[in-house]
Chain A
Amino acid sequence: MSQAIARLPRPRALLRYLWSLIAVPLVSFFLALLVGAIVIILSSTLVLKNPFDPTLPLTAYQALAQGAFGSFNSVVTTLVITTPLLLAGLGVGIGFRAGLFNIGAQGQFLMGAVGAVAVAANMQSSPPAIAIPAALAGGALAGAAWGFVPGLLKATSGAHEVVTTIMMNYIALASLAWIVKGPLKEMGSNPPTTPDVGAAALPILIGSTGHLGILLAFAAVPIAWFLLFRTTRGFEIRAVGANPDAARYAGVNPRLMIVLTMSIAGMLAGLAGACTILGISHRMNTTFQTKVGFDSITVALLGRSNPIGIMFAALLFGAMRAGAPPMQINAGIPVELVDFIQALILLFLIANAVLRRLLRLRGVAGAEQTGFQTITRSYGRETLT
């Protein structure tokens, strides 16, 4: 990238350069919507045998957009949904930076929520000023613990984090069920339910649902960015991810970094869970589940494990998730369509080399190379020696 910027060209060329920057994302996005539209029309005519209606996609997308931005409330909703995606996404992203493929955001999220409730339930009487930070900390710790374990296992026995984190997700489910039915069960509740988080409930700042967690999440972005790119710890994390051997030579202890990174990742995912339970649900029964864990992986990938990128990616996902129900309600288009569209955007973005050829743009080499090496090494390459 930097070379490209280094030699910033003359005005006319400058326009071409700018175009070369926005072209691919723009085209990707429209292609995704286009394919989505085709799917909508085809499915409604072929599957539902409806009369051919070319405006249906427009109706759908309009409903989607309105659900995401149509009103002040919908904007708030978007932010609320973005919050956990952003936090967990940052966690997964940092993992990628260290060459770790953390599929465990799911479990870390759940345990974070459990931790938060556990603390909150025992602090009903104390003032919010104390209860809220305590509950958040509880969530962060529980999540961190759930990330720490796979990290430790990899550092000590080399057990592959892809396996261990997947397994930890299911173990988290079981633990949650046990805790909600046992230690944390509110007397007389059936189905078993935890006490209300009471004093630890996050205050609503904007609209009817915009809770404190939103601030937390967006504050985490610059912090994560600073940690990664401006501190020695961040440098060590990235070094281990990019070349563990060189990192060792540089005096970094990869094992330590792996444990540390997994714990940080778990902590962020845990915070996401804590915010959800403290900000939205307020209490938990065994149906407490989430898609955030896996969405956050996509968010991190889409954001190229760069905090800034992750923020926008999370916003995009949040907007689509917020807009999906209205789309189903007002246009009768199943919510799952947005998953499909998200996949398409991602698809066209990583196929950008092809797009560029089609658009006759010169690609920016180098940047990409390093981009995927860091991520895919995290899967194939052995991080320890």
Chain B
Amino acid sequence: MDSFLHTINGIPVLGIVFQFVEYFLNALPFMSRVAVELAVPICLAALCGVMCERSGVVNIGLEGIMLTAAFTGWFAEAVITGIMGPGTPTPVFGLTVPLVLALLAAIIAGMLLSLLHAWLSISVRADQIIAGAIINIAAFGMTGYLNTLLATVSLPVTSNFTALTIPSAVSNIPLVGWLIDALFGQGPIGILMVIIVVVFQIFLFRSRWGLRTRAVGEHPRAAETVGIDVIRTRYRNVVLSGALAALGGAYLSIEATNGFQAGMTQGRGFIGLAAMIVGRWTPLGAFGAALLFAASQAISQTISISPPTGELGTLLDHVPTQFFDALPYLITIVVLAGLIGRSIAPAADGRPYQRESAS
């Protein structure tokens, strides 16, 4: 470390630190916005995972569910627009009839895939990891297949959800303004995500549904002996969770951008899986993990688009640019290995429940 610092014209470490803090604070308002935008799909995927696995069903099919929802949302909007015209977008969120219907379609698609996963994992009692893998492969294949076919078809122009513009009066509030702007200067799905995180957290630990979900995920037999229908609880959770991942997928194709690309999830489903684990299977934790990841991505992006000046700048010039690409992933590992350590899944996670088993 010492020698390394000397090589860069003997800059005092402290100076660098101060410069970084200053740079960081200046960029914070913009970075935070970026971070949240990047976090939304990851977090929604992670929430889907939490809801499944809290009830004892492992779900690695997040990527597939998102991809399918992304495709369905975009395609449905195009088709509906073709049938009934684009319609005029509302001033806030830029809602149009096709757009809303498309979101609905995406959610339904996601829930149907989850239903398949539920059936395989709960009724068929198949290997839940294989079931998830099937969903991923099938989704990748199907959406890619259709997308390539559609290359030859000309589809009507589509619109997407627009972000809420926070009045500068609010966003300029000292200290918290930037935070409000980051969290709520989003499209409907983005804002919904923030709400879901809070609601889900409260429900999981304060509501009857939450208590029963946790019970089923920890010790299904015990739950059954007090008259809880394990199978039904798990079905409900898994199918419902599909809607969450679907929101994440829809965010990609009809909110953040305006169109579908084969494989546009770019592994966000798997990152979501990681976020769920780093967040220790709790909604807030998952949100935090997703945010941490997205934030470190935002930092590397910020450094690349408006690099710091002064000694800090020269210091960073010595760092290969690829390092900043890898930064978010490194940070995640460090956080998990260093701070969080072992995160333990719900006890019955991944264990198919067999009702009539002589004890």
A–B direct contact (CB < 8 Å): yes
Q: At the interface, yes or no: B332 with Cβ under 8 Å from chain A?
A: yes
Interface size band for B: 35 or more
Residue of B nearest to A374 (CB): B127
Q: With A47-B149, A171-B330 as given contacts, are A163 and B127 in contact (CB-CB < 8 Å)?
A: no
Verify B341–A159 contact, CB threshold 8 A: yes
Residue of A nearest to B132 (CB): A379
Q: At the interface, yes or no: A78 with Cβ under 8 Å from chain B?
A: no
A379 to B149 alpha-carbon distance, docked (Å) = 37
Chain B residues closer than 8 Å to A158, beta-carbon distance: 341-343
Residue of B nearest to A346 (CB): B134
The 8 Å CB contact of B137, one of A168, A170, A298, is: A298
Q: At the interface, yes or no: A162 with Cβ under 8 Å from chain B?
A: yes
Q: At the interface, yes or no: B213 with Cβ under 8 Å from chain A?
A: no
The 8 Å CB contact of B345, one of A167, A339, A382, is: A382
CB distance from B46 to the nearest CB of A (A): 11
Verify B127–A350 contact, CB threshold 8 A: yes
A: number of interface residues (CB 8 Å): 59
The 8 Å CB contact of A336, one of B148, B273, B336, B350, is: B148
Verify B141–A353 contact, CB threshold 8 A: no
CB distance from B78 to the nearest CB of A (A): 12
Chain A residues closer than 8 Å to B131, beta-carbon distance: 350
Q: At the interface, yes or no: B109 with Cβ under 8 Å from chain A?
A: no
Verify A163–B129 contact, CB threshold 8 A: no
> Quick one: CB contact mask for B94-138 with A, threshold 8 Å, 1 for yes?
000000000000000000000000001000111111110111111
A170 to B332 alpha-carbon distance, docked (Å) = 12
A328 to B25 alpha-carbon distance, docked (Å) = 53
Q: Which stretch (A22-30, A172-180, A215-223, A265-273) binds chain B?
A: A172-180
> Quick one: CB contact mask for A35-71 with B, threshold 8 Å, 1 for yes?
0000100011001100000000000000000000000
Chain A residues closer than 8 Å to B145, beta-carbon distance: 39, 43, 334, 336-337, 339-340
Verify A380–B336 contact, CB threshold 8 A: no
Chain B residues closer than 8 Å to A294, beta-carbon distance: 136
Verify B124–A159 contact, CB threshold 8 A: no
Q: At the interface, yes or no: B320 with Cβ under 8 Å from chain A?
A: yes
> Quick one: CB contact mask for B140-156 with A, threshold 8 Å, 1 for yes?
11111110111011000
Q: Which stretch (B192-200, B236-244, B253-261, B321-329) binds chain A?
A: B321-329
> For the complex, would chain B's binding face be called helix, strand, loop or mixed by DSSP majority?
helix
Q: With A337-B145, A375-B129 as given contacts, are A346 and B137 in contact (CB-CB < 8 Å)?
A: yes
Chain A residues closer than 8 Å to B37, beta-carbon distance: none
A274 to B323 alpha-carbon distance, docked (Å) = 24
Verify B138–A382 contact, CB threshold 8 A: no
Verify B137–A174 contact, CB threshold 8 A: no
Those of B306-334 within 8 Å (CB) of chain A: 320, 322-323, 325-326, 328-330, 332-333
> For the complex, would chain A's binding face be called helix, strand, loop or mixed by DSSP majority?
helix
Q: At the interface, yes or no: A166 with Cβ under 8 Å from chain B?
A: yes
Q: At the interface, yes or no: B278 with Cβ under 8 Å from chain A?
A: yes
Interface centre among A168, A174, A181 (most CB of B within 10 A): A174
CB distance from B113 to the nearest CB of A (A): 12
Residue of B nearest to A351 (CB): B124
Verify A48–B332 contact, CB threshold 8 A: no
Verify B148–A153 contact, CB threshold 8 A: no
Q: With A153-B333, A177-B322 as given contacts, are A301 and B124 in contact (CB-CB < 8 Å)?
A: no
Chain B residues closer than 8 Å to A243, beta-carbon distance: none
CB distance from A137 to the nearest CB of B (A): 26
Chain A residues closer than 8 Å to B349, beta-carbon distance: 379-381
Verify A301–B133 contact, CB threshold 8 A: yes
Residue of A nearest to B59 (CB): A379
The 8 Å CB contact of A170, one of B153, B320, B329, is: B329
Verify A350–B149 contact, CB threshold 8 A: no
A85 to B249 alpha-carbon distance, docked (Å) = 29
Verify A380–B273 contact, CB threshold 8 A: no
Those of B220-272 within 8 Å (CB) of chain A: 262, 267, 270-271
Verify A336–B140 contact, CB threshold 8 A: yes
Q: At the interface, yes or no: A233 with Cβ under 8 Å from chain B?
A: no
CB distance from A366 to the nearest CB of B (A): 13
A342 to B126 alpha-carbon distance, docked (Å) = 17
The 8 Å CB contact of B152, one of A48, A175, A336, A341, is: A48
A372 to B351 alpha-carbon distance, docked (Å) = 9
Q: At the interface, yes or no: B284 with Cβ under 8 Å from chain A?
A: no
CB distance from B50 to the nearest CB of A (A): 14
Chain B residues closer than 8 Å to A44, beta-carbon distance: 149
CB distance from A356 to the nearest CB of B (A): 11
Verify A178–B322 contact, CB threshold 8 A: yes
Residue of A nearest to B150 (CB): A47
Chain B residues closer than 8 Å to A341, beta-carbon distance: 141
- 24 intermolecular pairs with C-beta atoms under 8 Å apart: A39-B142, A47-B153, A157-B336, A157-B337, A160-B343, A167-B333, A168-B333, A174-B325, A177-B322, A178-B322, A301-B130, A301-B133, A336-B144, A336-B262, A342-B141, A343-B134, A350-B127, A351-B126, A354-B124, A371-B127, A372-B126, A376-B129, A376-B351, A381-B349
Known: A158-B341, A353-B126, A379-B350. 18 other contacts (CB 8 A): A39-B145, A157-B341, A162-B274, A164-B333, A166-B267, A166-B271, A171-B329, A174-B325, A175-B322, A177-B325, A297-B133, A334-B148, A336-B144, A339-B141, A346-B137, A375-B127, A380-B345, A382-B344
Q: Which 5 A-B pairs have the closest CB atoms?
A: A158-B342, A339-B141, A340-B141, A380-B349, A336-B144
